[in-house]
A and B are shown apart, each in its own frame.
Chain A
Amino acid sequence: MKRAIKALALLLAGFMLVTAGCGSAVTKSVGPDVSKLLEAPNTKADGGKIVLRLWTFHQAMEYHFWTWLAQQYEKDHPNIEIRIEYVSSDDYFSSTRLLSSFASGQGPDLFFVSSATIRRFADAGFLYPLTDLFTAKIRDDFYPAALDNVTVDQEIYAVPFEMELLGLFYNERMFSQHRLDPPETWEEMMRDAELLRTPDISGLTIETYDGVFKNFSWLPFLWQTGGNLLAEDGSRSALSGSQAVKMYGFFRDMVERGLLNLRPSRPTTDIGILANGETAMQVSGTWNIRMLETEFADQPIGVVPLPVPEGGQPATIAGGWKMAANRQSEHAEEAAKFVMWAFAGDPGIPLKWVSDVKFAYPPRKSVMEAGIQNYRKGLRVVFTDRVFGTEREEPQLPEEINRIFSDTIQEMLFGDIAPEAIVSKADKAIGNALAQP
C-alpha cells in the first residue's frame, strides 16, 4: 500500500514538473532595445532641440523604416529630434497604453490611429486638426474614401499611409489535386471546404479570436449580403430587415458541418496557418504578400477575391494605420508638420513604405502611379486587378457597436441561438447603444 502511495505521489509530482517545464518552450519575440524603452519619456535633447516622440509597434524592417524616416527629417530640420519608441502591439491595438499615457499627460507627440480609435481620440481632444495643412492639391491626391476615413466632424485628424485589403488565400496544390478551381461564390467555398478538409486540415480559416481583427475579417461578408451595422447617417441599426441573416445562417451551417477552423493555431493575420498546411483556405490580407514572396516562396499559395453570395456584391475591407499628432503636446504644431512631411508630401516616402518595407496599397493617387510596377507582379496582380476597387473603408464605429458585432460572430460560431435571433438581438442592442447619451 505504502509503495503504491509513493508511486502515485511521484507520478503526480513528475507530471506537474514536466508540464511546468514546458514554459521554456514558449518562443520569445525579438523586440527593439529594452534600454531604449526605459529611457522614455525623456524629452530632453542636447543643444535645445525640440524632441518629438513617435510610438510604434512595428518590428524588424518596419521598425527600421521609422528610424530611417526620423534621420531623414532631422537632416532637413536640424532643430528637431525624432525619438522612435517601441510599444508592444498588444498594448497598441488595445489602446490601453496610449490612453493611460494621454490621461497622465505623458502621451507621445506622434502615434498611429485606426478607424476604430480615431473618433474616440478626436472626441477626447487628443488629435491635432490637420485640415488647414491639407491644401486643395493634397486633398485631390488622396482617394476620397481614405480621406473620409480620417475626417471626424469636418476636421481631418490624421494622414493615412497604407491600405490593406482582405482576400481568400488558398493552397493551390490541394485544389489541383482535387481538380478544383478556387471559389468565387459562397456555395463553391463551402463545397471546396467540404472536399478538401481532412481530420488534420480544416476547410476554411477566418478569424475567430476576439479582437479588432475579428470584426475586420467578418464585416466584408456582411456587406456582401447588402447588410450593414448602421444606417448611412449612423443614427439607427441597419441590421433589421436586411439580408444580414443570410451571412449568419451560411457560416453557422459551415460550423455545423465542421468546415471552419474554430481554434486556429495563431491569429489569422498570420498566413503561416495556410502555409503550414493547417487549412485549405484562409481569409487574410495584403500584408502577407511579402512573407509569401520570401519566407514561403516555395509554398503553392494562391489568392482570389473574397467569394460572394448568390445575388450579392463583391466587397472587401480596406484597413491600415494613419499617423496623427498629439494636440496636447507642447510641440503639437511641429509634430503635425512632421506628419504632413512624411505622408502628404514627397510620394517617395509612402512609396518606400508600401512597396519596399511591406506590401500595401497607397491611399494617394500619385504614390500609386509612381509605384504601379510593384502592383503587377505575382499575387499582387490579383489584388490590383480583382480586389482593389471593391473595397470599403473600415468604418469608424463606436466601441459599443464593435462589441455587439463581435458578440454576434461569437454567437454564430460557438452559440446555439438561431441566426434570425442573433440578428434581432444585435439589432435591439445597437438600438439601445445608440439611444444612450
Chain B
Amino acid sequence: MTPKRISARTRNEWVTAYGFLLPNLIGLFVFVFVPIVYALYVSLHDWNALNPKAFSGLDNYRKLLHDDQWWSSIRITLTFSVIYVPLLFVLSLLSALLMNALRGRTKGVARTLFLLPFAVTSVTSAVIGMFMLDPRNGVINRLLGLIGIGPQPFLGSTSQAMLSIIGVILWINIGYNMIIFLSAIKEIPRDYYEAAGMDGATGWKSFRFITLPLLRETSTFILIVTTIGSFQALDQILVMTKGGPANAMEVSVLYIFKQGFELLNMGYAASLAFVLFLIIFGLSLVQLKLFSNRN
C-alpha cells in the first residue's frame, strides 16, 4: 500500500488553518480544558480553599446524591430552562421575521435598536430590571395600574420571581438571537418563495414548509447555545434576588457558587460543578442528535 502523498499546497493550507486556530486552541486548553480536569481533581478532595486539600475519594459525589437542596436547585434550573429557551427561541424568530418584512431605511435603524440591549452588561441589566420591577416605584406596576391591575410583588414573590427574571434576560438576549435568525433568513433564496407563491402557498404555509425547514441548522445552534446558557444563568439572578425569595430562584450554578464561596466547601462545589457539566454535555448531545437528522 502506497502512502497517500500530501501536496505542498495542502500542507500550506493546513499550516495556515492551524495557525489561525492555534490562539483559540491554546485559550480553550488553558481556560476550559485545564479547569475542567482541575475541577475533577478538586472534587475528589475535601478542601476549604485555605488549608491543604485532603483526598476524600468519591465522598463528595455520594453526598450530592442525598443533598435535597442540590436536587431542588436542579429542578428550579430545569423549570427555568423549559420556560426560557422556547420563549427566547420563538420571540427571536418572530422578531427576525418582523425585521425581514421591513423595507427601506427603517430596517437598519430598527435592527440596531433591537440589538442595543445586548450591549448592556448583565449586571447593569439586572439593576435596571430591579428598578423597573420595584413593587412600589417601578414602571411596570405603574403601567399595570393604568389598566386597573393592582401592584405586584414580582421579585418579592416565590411565584413571580422566575418569570420576572426571565423577562429581564429575554430583553437582553432577544436582539442577538434575532440577528442570527435574520442572517439565516436572508440566506434563503427568494426563488423558493416565488415558486411556492405560484403554487398558491403564501403566509403561514411558506413559513412552515420553506423558512422553518431551512432554518434547521440555525435553530439547532440557537437551541443548544441558549439551553447551555440557561443552565449557566447566574449574574442576573445573583444581583436581583440572590436566589430568593425563599430559595425560589436558587439555580444550580448559584448553589454551586454558595457552596464554594460562601460555605467554602470547594471540593463539594467542584463535584457539583462537574455533575452539572456532565448534565449540560449530555443535553447538548441529545439536542444535536435530535436536530441533526436532515430527513
Enumerate chain A interface residues (CB-CB to B < 8 A).
Answer: 2, 5-6, 8-10, 12-14, 16-17, 19-20, 22-23, 25-26, 94, 96, 99, 102-103, 120, 124-126, 199-200, 208-211, 262-263, 265, 278, 399-400, 403, 407, 410-411, 413-415
B263-A17 in contact (CB<8A): no
Write the chain B residue with the least CB distance to A5: B101
A20-B244 in contact (CB<8A): no
**Contact string, B243-282, partner A, CB cutoff 8 A, digits 1/0?**
1111110000000001001111000000000000000000
User: Which 8 residue pairs spanning A and B have beta carbons closest together?
Assistant: A414-B245, A13-B113, A124-B50, A414-B246, A263-B156, A210-B242, A415-B246, A410-B246
Known interface pairs A124-B51, A399-B264; 7 further A-B residue pairs with C-beta atoms within 8 A, sorted by A's residue number: A12-B95, A13-B113, A23-B124, A103-B49, A125-B50, A265-B136, A407-B246
Q: How far is the CA of A94 from the CA of B238 in the complex (A)?
A: 13
Q: How far is the CA of A262 from the CA of B151 in the complex (A)?
A: 13
Write the chain A residue with the least CB distance to B115: A16
| Chain B positions 81-139 with a Cβ under 8 Å from a chain A Cβ | 95, 98-99, 101-103, 106, 109-110, 113-114, 116-117, 119-120, 124, 127-128, 131-132, 134-137
| Chain B positions 141-160 with a Cβ under 8 Å from a chain A Cβ | 151, 153-158
- Does B206 belong to the interface (CB within 8 Å)? no
B116-A20 in contact (CB<8A): yes
**Chain B residues closer than 8 Å to A2, beta-carbon distance:** 101, 103
B262-A399 in contact (CB<8A): yes
Q: How far is the CA of A410 from the CA of B132 in the complex (A)?
A: 23
- Does B48 belong to the interface (CB within 8 Å)? yes
**Chain A residues closer than 8 Å to B119, beta-carbon distance:** 20
B128-A19 in contact (CB<8A): yes
Instruction: Give the distance to chain B from A430, nearest Cβ to Cβ, in Å.
Output: 14
Instruction: Give the distance to chain A from B219, nearest Cβ to Cβ, in Å.
Output: 22
Instruction: Give the distance to chain B from A337, nearest Cβ to Cβ, in Å.
Output: 25
**Contact string, B38-52, partner A, CB cutoff 8 A, digits 1/0?**
000000000011110
Write the chain A residue with the least CB distance to B103: A2
B247-A94 in contact (CB<8A): no
A400-B263 in contact (CB<8A): yes
B131-A410 in contact (CB<8A): no
**Chain A residues closer than 8 Å to B248, beta-carbon distance:** 414
Q: How far is the CA of A198 from the CA of B136 in the complex (A)?
A: 12
Q: How far is the CA of A133 from the CA of B127 in the complex (A)?
A: 47
Q: How far is the CA of A22 from the CA of B116 in the complex (A)?
A: 12
B153-A262 in contact (CB<8A): yes
A99-B49 in contact given A19-B128, A20-B116, A400-B263 (Cβ < 8 Å) = yes
A12-B117 in contact given A124-B50, A263-B134, A410-B247 (Cβ < 8 Å) = no
Instruction: Give the distance to chain B from A264, nearest Cβ to Cβ, in Å.
Output: 9
Enumerate chain B interface residues (CB-CB to A < 8 A).
Answer: 48-51, 95, 98-99, 101-103, 106, 109-110, 113-114, 116-117, 119-120, 124, 127-128, 131-132, 134-137, 151, 153-158, 171, 175, 242-248, 258, 261-264
Q: How far is the CA of A207 from the CA of B261 in the complex (A)?
A: 22
**Chain A residues closer than 8 Å to B113, beta-carbon distance:** 13-14, 16-17
Q: Which of B117, B137, B246 has the most CB of A within 10 A?
A: B246
B117-A19 in contact (CB<8A): yes
**Chain A residues closer than 8 Å to B246, beta-carbon distance:** 407, 410-411, 413-415
**Chain B residues closer than 8 Å to A103, beta-carbon distance:** 49-50
B114-A262 in contact (CB<8A): no
A126-B50 in contact (CB<8A): yes
B50-A102 in contact (CB<8A): yes
**Chain B residues closer than 8 Å to A265, beta-carbon distance:** 134, 136-137
**Chain B residues closer than 8 Å to A9, beta-carbon distance:** 98-99, 101-102, 106, 110
B156-A13 in contact (CB<8A): no
**Chain B residues closer than 8 Å to A211, beta-carbon distance:** 242
Q: How far is the CA of A384 from the CA of B22 in the complex (A)?
A: 69
- CB-contact partner of B158 in A17, A25, A407, A414, under 8 A: A414
**Chain B residues closer than 8 Å to A126, beta-carbon distance:** 50
Q: How far is the CA of A17 from the CA of B220 in the complex (A)?
A: 29
A26-B124 in contact given A16-B114, A399-B264, A410-B247 (Cβ < 8 Å) = yes
Write the chain A residue with the least CB distance to B174: A16
Write the chain B residue with the least CB distance to A400: B263
A414-B244 in contact (CB<8A): yes
Q: How far is the CA of A12 from the CA of B111 in the complex (A)?
A: 11
Instruction: Give the distance to chain B from A258, nearest Cβ to Cβ, in Å.
Output: 10
Q: How far is the CA of A228 from the CA of B170 in the complex (A)?
A: 44
Instruction: Give the distance to chain A from B222, nearest Cβ to Cβ, in Å.
Output: 19
A25-B124 in contact (CB<8A): no
**Chain A residues closer than 8 Å to B155, beta-carbon distance:** 263
**Chain A residues closer than 8 Å to B116, beta-carbon distance:** 16-17, 20
Write the chain B residue with the least CB distance to A17: B113
Q: How far is the CA of A5 from the CA of B102 in the complex (A)?
A: 7
A415-B137 in contact (CB<8A): no
**Chain A residues closer than 8 Å to B262, beta-carbon distance:** 94, 399, 403
Q: Which of A5, A13, A19, A26 has the most CB of B within 10 A?
A: A13
Write the chain B residue with the least CB distance to A202: B136
Instruction: Give the distance to chain B from A15, nearest Cβ to Cβ, in Å.
Output: 9
Q: How far is the CA of A13 from the CA of B50 in the complex (A)?
A: 50
B109-A13 in contact (CB<8A): yes
B95-A25 in contact (CB<8A): no
Instruction: Give the distance to chain A from B150, nearest Cβ to Cβ, in Å.
Output: 9
Instruction: Give the distance to chain A from B248, nearest Cβ to Cβ, in Å.
Output: 7
Instruction: Give the distance to chain B from A263, nearest Cβ to Cβ, in Å.
Output: 4
A399-B263 in contact (CB<8A): yes
Instruction: Give the distance to chain A from B13, nearest Cβ to Cβ, in Å.
Output: 43
**Chain A residues closer than 8 Å to B258, beta-carbon distance:** 403
**Chain A residues closer than 8 Å to B134, beta-carbon distance:** 263, 265
Instruction: Give the distance to chain B from A251, nearest Cβ to Cβ, in Å.
Output: 14
Q: How far is the CA of A23 from the CA of B123 in the complex (A)?
A: 10
A10-B244 in contact (CB<8A): no
Q: How far is the CA of A197 from the CA of B9 in the complex (A)?
A: 81
